[in-house]
Structure formats: structure tokens, C-alpha cells
Structure 1
Amino acid sequence: MQEMDNTKKFTELFSQLGSNSADEQKQKIEEMISIVDEMNEREFRSVFTMELFNEMDKMIEERKLSMGNAFVLLKHIGYLKVLKDIWIDRFDNSPLSVRFEEMIVDENEKKKEEKDEKLLTDLCECFLALSNYSSSKLHSIYVPCLLKVAQKKEKSVETQKEVELALLALSNIIYFV
């Protein structure tokens, strides 16, 4: 019964994201993250389907979900996927995966002055944590970007979380080689 409650609650909150303001989305995403933390592998697999990733891509495209809010949720999902060693292959074939790959290449090709390092880092972390496969040609983008984050020496909790996510995403590359 608990299993159904987690998947149902998550699905309901997700379906409401597109009709909320950015601040309301943040609150719903925090609730969704706490639900995801309680999920077992079966629940995790049943929620993170191709349809969910397709819907998220559509919401981003229609600007109903900000990239910042999407990154918060996707990074956490990817973090738990890697941490709990759960194989989900729905992201790899989704339009969201294609969007992120294209954005990574586009952002990397920008001149140094125009490049948004935070966006590139967020894209790399999300993509690598969620994906089971990666093109080796993109490793030359992922590795330097994430190593730069991992080298931060600040002691704040936020910085340490960024470093942890970067290292986790980097560790996932070994599966792609």
C-alpha cells in the first residue's frame, strides 16, 4: 500500500508542476524529492518512465517548467539512481536526453565570454547521472567541466553538495567506456 501511495503522490505532484509558478514548483519539487527518497527500486522504475521524461521535456519546451527547477529534480533522481545502483533506461531514448546532449554541445561551443559554466555543469551532471550510455566524443566536454567543479575547496554545505554531484557524475562515466 505504501508503494502505491509513493508513486501516486509523486505522479499527482508532477502533473501539477506545469500549472504552478516557479516558487510553487520549487515547493512541489521538494515534496517530490522527499517521496523519491522513500521509494524502493520497483517504485523508482515505475515512476521514471519514458512518458515522464517526455512530459518533462514538453514542459521545458513550453516554458511551463524552468530549467533550474528541472535540474533540481533531475539531479536528485540521477543521484539516487547511481547511489542505489538502479538501472533505468527510459531517459536514454527520450527527447529530454537528446535536448540535454544538444545543449551540452551548444553551450560548450560558445566563446568563453558567452559560456554559462553553471548551465553546462548542470547539464553534464544531469545527463551523466541519468544516462546509461554516453557518446565518448562528449567525454572531452564532461570531464573538464566536472573536474573544475570537483576541485572547489570551499567548505560550505552547498559547495560540498556540488562537488559530490560532480564526482558522482564523473564516476558514472566508467560505465560508458
Structure 2
Amino acid sequence: MTGNTGISYVKGDATAPQGKGVKVITHICNDLGGWGKGFVVAVSRRWPEPEAAYRKWHRERARNDFGLGAAQFVQVSEWLWVANVVGQRGIRTGSKGAPVRYEAIAAGLGRVAAKAEELGASVHMPRIGCGLAGGTWSRVEPLISERLTRRGIPVTVYDH
């Protein structure tokens, strides 16, 4: 089902994206270097490379662009990439609210859009920012529509 946002919603597993051509699976990471809960567990069950790349990116952050709003692209097969988007500050809800950072997600999605255009790829994701990050879909969905589907990039969101 596609709403007026241009996003297609399907039941299924975002680590097994549907359709033809090059695909970019997009998910949200935290800014602490932690990887071990939520969607990343499913990613790591299929491919070791995204977690290894993320951990190295975080470890060497003094010499790279790691931080809120950054995106790292890891090729896991000929037609498939995983985008590690840093869109979460820390890992637990505290005095500053939930860990989700909408502006960082928006910036990261802009980077995903540029990569998808370069690859001629479609973008696939769970409801990013709405699990452990504590965000709400009503705030994330417009960011996807603004940064991706308005640029003509096909987006599929998977509900497990």
C-alpha cells in the first residue's frame, strides 16, 4: 500500500528486500558505538560486514565523519548495500527525552538519497527511529518523503 507520501508499506523482513535492481537497506545506529539490540541483530545475522564497518568507523571517529547525521554505506552483495545512519543520541531515554534525533535522521536520509541516486537504487527499511530510539512514525515519515520519495527514489517500509 502506498500513501500520498510515495512510500510503499509491506509486511515482511527489511533484511530480505523485495523487487529488482540495486537496493539500499537503511537503518538507524546510535552515536556510542553500540550495536546489539533491535534491527541490527537481524542485519548481523545475515551479514557480518555492516557491524564490523560500524564498529571500525566508531573506533576511528577522531579521523572520520562519524557522528549524528552521518551515514556509512557497506556493500554486502553485488546488488545490496546497508546504510548505517547515525540518528540516535545514546541508547536510553533520559532527561533530554528519547534517544532519537530527527534532524540527524533527516541529514542521514539526505546522504542515503545521494547514494541511492548514484547507484540507481531503491531504499528499504523498517520503521526507522521508532524502535529502541523511541521516535514516532508521524515525525519520521515526512522526513523520508521529503528527503527520498520527493526526489523520485522508491522507498519500501517493512512491518514485521
Relative to the length of structure 2, the TM-score reads 0.36
Structure richer in helix, relative to its length: 1
If you compute each CA radius of gyration, which structure gives the higher value, 1 or 2? 1
Say which structure is richer in strand: 2
Larger relative contact order (CA 8 Å, sep ≥ 6): 2
Q: What's the TM-score, normalizing by structure 1?
A: 0.33
